Structure 1
């Protein structure tokens, strides 16, 4: 008998190839506030959401001292929204999703971003129907790397943590999944190739490396 009953997916960088788009959105806001060009392609920390990113960045840059986190988040959301045409679904997701459904596995989404932005992404890419439930950052007290979002998602689908497998792409997401008491699979991408995922249960290069039987081996 299968020991897991649900797979909880992260969205950005996991299902969607969009961290480059986020990087450009953050960079555009930096430019707007006259902050010198950044050395890093990714001025943000993937996986923790815009609010947590800007709280940390405000402490680092004096130019942002008088700008509220709310304003910075709003500006970044707008810049990202303007670039959503560049967001694509990662190869192999639909095949993996269908394989899970064929085996009776519940598929859910757990993302740190706010609903209004997630809704636009899901609408544009016709992804709503692929998830039994969707949990977004404003539904929980603490976003990733806290485990709250995965714990809440499991409750929504009436699954115990040990019955859930998380699919992630960021250290924050891995930490959240493990602290929730779940197995965690990491999918490599263009922005996380240097991250340490030694605490994950499995690291793969893409969705084509995954199927229900591979997940069986984790439980």
Structure 2
């Protein structure tokens, strides 16, 4: 019997990837690093440490640490998210959270974003009240596709992994959910780039397609 839903944030709660891509490309360009949209898409759902650590390792001549790059991108991203009022929650996500809550399920969030960014997003869209547990992968030693983040959410919720349903838009997130032994709904978000969601138990193109029973 399923007892909990665990949401990813970026690309599931709000359409983050176009903003992330813009900020990442701008910061990397300042250090002479060019990255294609296709390469960026392979890092969707993975932590800043993972992404910028790889960039620094591949481009040692940039002369920056991954922490420096991550901070610059974070500051720019935060500015964009705070000032661009056209950015909204993904259609149907609030209604989905309401349906899940009304059905009596626990709700958790497992995001690779920093806790500061998670709080900014949830407060911006007035969604924090729905989540009993929030875990930032940035504070964990391993990021998606490792299952640690989802296992940590389940443990904090007090439920078994087999009792959880994960909603994630990235291939890394789907892989993490399945490695954790959880049921996974892949949200096919066109703005998240080409993602391999084939490992998901179900793939949907809209939050309205998710039936809560």
Matched residue SS, 2:191: coil
Aligned to 1:19: 17
Cα 1:194/1:113, change in 2 over 3 Å: closer
**1:23, 1:41 within 8 Å by CA — same for their partners in 2?**
no
Residue 62 of structure 1: how far off its partner (Å): 4.6
Work out which of the residue numbers 56, 59, 80 in structure 2 matches 1:58: 56
Name the count of aligned residue pairs.
209
Aligned to 1:9: 7
Please list, as runs of the form range in 1=range in 2, the aligned pairs for 1:43-122 lying within 5 A after superposition. Answer: 43=40, 45-64=43-62, 66-84=63-81, 85=84, 86-122=86-122
1:17-45 deviations in whole A, cap 9, x for unaligned?
11000000101102221334x44276361
Residue 206 of structure 1: how far off its partner (Å): 1.1
Residue 145 of structure 1: how far off its partner (Å): 1.1
**1:23, 1:42 within 8 Å by CA — same for their partners in 2?**
no
Matched residue SS, 2:190: coil
Q: CA–CA distance in 1 between the matches of 2:38 and 2:77?
A: 15
Residue 172 of structure 1: how far off its partner (Å): 0.7
| Alignment RMSD | 1.7
TM-score, with length taken from structure 2 = 0.91
Aligned to 2:208: 208
Unpaired stretches in structure 1, ≥5 consecutive residues: 214-219
After the TM superposition, which of the residue ranges 170-179 and 112-121 deviates more from structure 2? Answer: 112-121
Residue 132 of structure 1: how far off its partner (Å): 1.0
Please list, as runs of the form range in 1=range in 2, the aligned pairs for 1:132-171 lying within 5 A after superposition. Answer: 132-171=132-171
Q: CA–CA distance in 2 between the matches of 1:177 and 1:128?
A: 22
Cα 1:193/1:115, change in 2 over 3 Å: closer
Matched residue SS, 2:153: helix
Q: CA–CA distance in 1 between the matches of 2:138 and 2:58?
A: 25
TM-score, with length taken from structure 1 = 0.89
Q: CA–CA distance in 2 between the matches of 1:42 and 1:88?
A: 26
Matched residue SS, 1:109: strand
